[in-house]
Amino acid sequence: MFIKQIWGVLESDRRLIVLSIFCGLLFTGLGILPPLLVREMLLWLQPGSQPGSFTMLALLAASIYVARGAMRYCYGLASHIAAYNTLHRLTNRVYAHLQTMSPSYLNRRHSGNLVARSIGDVDAIEDFIAHGIPETVLAMVIPTTMSVVLLIINWQLALVALLPLPLLAIVMYILRKRTRNYWGHVRKQFATVSALMSDFLNGIKVIQTFQAYKVTAARLQFQSKDYRDKIVHANKWSLVPAGVVEVFSGAGIVCVICAGSWMVTVGSHTQLQVSIPDLVVFLMYLGQIFLPFLRLATMTDHIQKAAASAARVFELLEAKADIVDAADARVPVDPCYDITFDNVEFSYQEGESVLAGTTFSIAENEIVALVGETGVGKSTACQLLVRFHDVTQGAVRVGGVDVRELPLDYLRRQIAMVPQEMFLFEGSIRENLLIGKEDATEAELLEAIKQADAIEFVESFVDGLDTIVGERGVRLSGGQKQRVGIARALLKDAPILVLDEATSAVDVETEAAIRQAIQRAATGRTVLIVAHRLATIKTASRIVVLDKGKVVEQGTFAELVEKQGVFCRIYQV
């Protein structure tokens, strides 16, 4: 199964692997010749023999070793190019697959664990392709080829010399099966340590503020110690094959020395005899027969890591996306951009409803604020609109069409979203804006930051739009990040705009600037605003109040104040 999976991901690089193996076989074939040349030289040196040209023999040996060097280079280069191509392809394939997965799937898995699979495990597979495949093939071909040559030279001594090989193969097979499970545990624990380290680095300000150095260090030390113990235990078994090969290699040489010396001295009186040149060749070949097993033994941990990593990577790739296009999904001929929540029910966990029979609508080009206490499902409603999740019952419609009947790519192109926790990528302000529209012109970028009321602070930076924002936008203030996010949403120029608590984490002055940006952004768009602050809520033409997952009130600000109902109770108006 493991080899089949690796062969599958090689794709167009299979030819490079075949070339690598072919060059490896030539390298092996050429390796058979030097001992035969030595044998020929020894035969020439025996009394009574007619010696040939030692110069020609030396030139032939030199040519063989030059050719062997070239073949070794070619088989190594071909396997490494194939490995790095596969590393590139598999890394991008894993990322592309993760892009299709819903937030609910990603939320159940730690980002550090996913990174460990996407980078660490894929790298282990690359290591196997570069070294494991050619070495494994040569480990099978070299002993077989040289064993045939030995049997041709002297089959009796060959049988004695090769006596340890079958037993060695059995021992290696048993050890390989045993170590594979151990490396699976190692890779899993490595992902755990990576995830924990990622968590602590992302939350370093919290750790410093609460002086939680000892607690977090102890947690990391505990997991790291477990990783150390697992990898040490795995290596205890992975390193055994190298020692076993040395023992069996020595056993083969001992057998040849004992049997060969007897056949040279006593065997002349029997049918069991061997010449000194043949005995020398046997000893030279034996070293080469067992050498591939030794290399393979030292690579056992790499092979087992690759097997365990492949299982984890392909488990990830085989996971099915739960938010996909319906078989009959189609783009509307005459699209409209009104929004309807029709008796929507949704729960993250069975039996715990977040939305229960939620019904409201937003007319095209209308601005509606969705309000309510924390946890009533406001952000969930926004996520259902863009199909981060699917409703349990009921329907969310855009332009009268159930969002589940629209192509996912089309639906999300129609919606620009500004979340509460604005995420900016490492890079410049320009690069973050271009996510909204990758082919935007300089004029479009400037217009977007003007509308988002971000032009003043962007121009105050020495590098302007090329200012680096840092990881997650740490070099910008909360208000600056929000306005860059709004500019990015405006640049997308989608007919539907969703603002999920876009002003919750900023001061009053910044909120006023963002509010003005929202009002400019809302022109000609259907807008859904989730907000707590009254000043932001007042920008909406209509307010929908959620309570316990249901719509309990809706109307203008003045109408809701006059009712003195849930809205007034929440905001103490």
List the chain pLDDT tens, one digit each, 573 residues: 666 777 777 778 888 888 988 888 888 788 878 888 887 777 777 776 677 677 888 898 889 889 989 998 998 888 888 888 888 888 888 888 877 887 777 777 766 667 666 676 777 777 777 777 777 777 777 777 777 877 887 777 778 777 777 777 777 777 666 666 677 777 778 878 877 877 777 777 667 666 777 888 888 888 888 888 888 887 777 777 777 777 877 777 787 777 777 776 665 555 566 677 777 777 777 777 767 766 666 666 667 777 777 777 777 777 788 888 888 888 888 888 899 999 988 888 777 788 888 889 999 888 998 988 888 888 888 889 989 888 889 999 998 899 999 998 899 888 888 887 788 888 888 888 888 888 888 888 888 888 877 888 888 888 888 888 887 788 888 888 888 888 888 888 889 988 887 766 566 776 777 677 777 777 788 999 888 778 788 888 898 988 888 888 888 888 888 888 888 887 775
- Cα–Cα distance measured from residue 311 to residue 185, given in angstroms and rounded to the nearest whole number: 12
Q: What is the dihedral of CA 67, 69, 71, 76, to 10 degrees?
A: -170
Residue 42 is predicted with a pLDDT of 78
Q: Which tokens belong to 415? A: 């919606």
CA 330 to chain centre: 32
Would you say 370 and 528 are in contact if contact means Cβ atoms under 8 Å apart? Answer: yes
Core vs surface per residue 197-219: b (16+ CB within 10 A) or e: ebbbeeeeeeeeeeeeeeebeee
Helix 54-99 to helix 133-153 angle, to the nearest 10 degrees?
150
Q: Which amino acid is at 190?
A: F
Q: Which tokens belong to 45? A: 């040196």
Residues written for the chain: 573
Radius of gyration of the chain, Cα coordinates, nearest whole angstrom: 35
Residue whose C-alpha is closest to residue 358's, from 338, 342, 370: 342
Kind plus residue range of the DSSP H or E element containing 397: strand 393-398
The values of phi and psi at residue 247, to 5°, are -65, -50
- Cα–Cα distance measured from residue 44 to residue 28, given in angstroms and rounded to the nearest whole number: 26
Domain residues of the chain, as ranges?
2-317, 339-571
The values of phi and psi at residue 496, to 5°, are -120, 130
Q: Which CATH class is domain 339-571?
A: alpha beta
Total-model pTM: 0.69
Q: Sign (positive/negative) of CA torsion 327, 332, 336, 337?
A: positive
Tens-digit pLDDT profile for residues 317-332: 777 888 888 888 888 8
> For the domain with range 2-317, which CATH number is right: 1.20.1560.10, 1.10.10.10, 3.40.50.10470, 1.10.1060.10?
1.20.1560.10
DSSP 8-state symbol, 428: B
Kind plus residue range of the DSSP H or E element containing 357: strand 352-362
